[in-house]
């Protein structure tokens, strides 16, 4: 799961990035409104943590812009403002949740999980299921009824992406954007390496799930008949 943090307080932004990465999220940070909007408009993020008071462009304007562009990514507003009117303005502008500073780490993580569940991308207890496999995105464990194996973070992120897209074909370009970022130097062979790793682990589990290549297009998860 890839999260965008838009926060101009550098120390807070760095702390949020560390907390989220420690909890197995992939994170990018922007420190002003214009950079935040540019990142958000790529559509590669699964959730956005958005401060309201930002230089160059405020968070409410960013939120209105991305909703106008049809981007439905869950947004949690972060702000020092705690008045009811501010909360109402944020929610009416398209925010999914609102968290006033200062906040506890546990509450932030719980609100992220809740916002993700509402979008239907993450199941309770961080469990994602497809066919006979279950992926726990918190522990990075992939399991069937009889076996389980530990994944590395990039493997887990890749499989999560494939599962959430279900029977849709996922291009290498989208995988690179989601896992490494749109400005990354990662190439198609990086994707191929992790696809190979996942195929070997699915084989180890004797799973009926396979990652099939759609030549010239990308990859799709399927259940063997």
User: Where are the domains positioned within the chain?
Assistant: 2-119, 124-223
Distance of alpha carbon 99 from alpha carbon 214, whole angstroms:
42
pLDDT of amino acid 71: 85
Q: Name the residue among 33, 29, 38 with its Cα closest to residue 10.
A: 29
Q: Give this prediction's pTM.
A: 0.68
Q: What dihedral do alpha carbons 201, 206, 161, 154 form, nearest 10°? A: -10
pLDDT of amino acid 186: 79
Any idea what DSSP says for residue 131? T
pLDDT of amino acid 125: 52
3 state DSSP class of 23: coil
Q: Left (φ > 0), alpha (ψ -120 to 50) or beta: where does 157 sit?
A: alpha
C-alpha torsion sign, points 107, 113, 116, 120: negative
Which residues of the chain, if any, have pLDDT below 70? 81-83, 118-126
Distance of alpha carbon 213 from alpha carbon 194, whole angstroms:
13
pLDDT of amino acid 118: 67
Q: Name the residue among 18, 19, 54, 12 with its Cα closest to residue 37.
A: 54
pLDDT of amino acid 119: 63
Q: Name the residue among 20, 53, 50 with its Cα closest to residue 37.
A: 50
Name the phi and psi angles at 188, rounded to 5. Answer: -60, -35
pLDDT of amino acid 82: 64
pLDDT of amino acid 122: 43
In the sheet with 75-79, reading across from the earlier edge strand, the strands are: 26-30, 2-6, 47-51, 75-79, 97-100
Q: Left (φ > 0), alpha (ψ -120 to 50) or beta: where does 94 sit?
A: left
Q: Name the residue among 15, 38, 35 with its Cα closest to residue 27.
A: 15
pLDDT of amino acid 145: 92
CATH of 124-223, one of 1.10.10.10, 3.30.390.30, 1.10.260.40, 1.20.1440.230: 1.10.10.10
pLDDT of amino acid 124: 45
Task: For domain 2-119, give the CATH superfamily.
Answer: Response regulator (3.40.50.2300)
Distance of alpha carbon 219 from alpha carbon 174, whole angstroms:
11
């Amino acid at each position: 799961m890839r999260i965008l943090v838009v926060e101009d307080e550098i120390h807070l932004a760095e702390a949020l990035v560390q907390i989220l990465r420690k909890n197995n999220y992939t994170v990018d940070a922007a420190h002003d409104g214009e950079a935040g909007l540019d990142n958000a408009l790529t559509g590669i993020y699964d959730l956005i943590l958005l401060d309201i008071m930002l230089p160059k462009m405020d968070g409410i304007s960013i939120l209105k812009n991305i909703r106008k562009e049809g981007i439905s990514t869950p947004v949690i507003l972060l702000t020092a403002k705690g008045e009811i009117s501010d909360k109402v303005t944020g929610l009416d502008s398209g925010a999914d949740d609102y968290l006033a500073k200062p906040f506890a780490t546990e509450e932030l993580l719980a609100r992220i999980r809740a916002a993700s569940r509402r979008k239907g991308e993450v199941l309770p207890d961080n469990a994602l299921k497809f066919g006979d496999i279950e992926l726990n995105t918190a522990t990075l464990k992939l399991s069937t009824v009889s076996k389980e194996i530990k994944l590395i973070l990039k493997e887990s992120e890749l499989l999560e992406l494939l599962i959430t897209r279900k029977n849709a074909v996922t291009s290498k370009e989208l995988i690179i954007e989601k896992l490494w970022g749109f400005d990354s130097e990662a190439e198609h062979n990086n994707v191929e390496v992790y696809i190979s790793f996942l195929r070997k682990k699915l084989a180890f589990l004797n799973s009926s799930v396979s990652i099939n290549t759609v030549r010239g297009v990308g990859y799709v998860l399927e259940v063997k008949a």
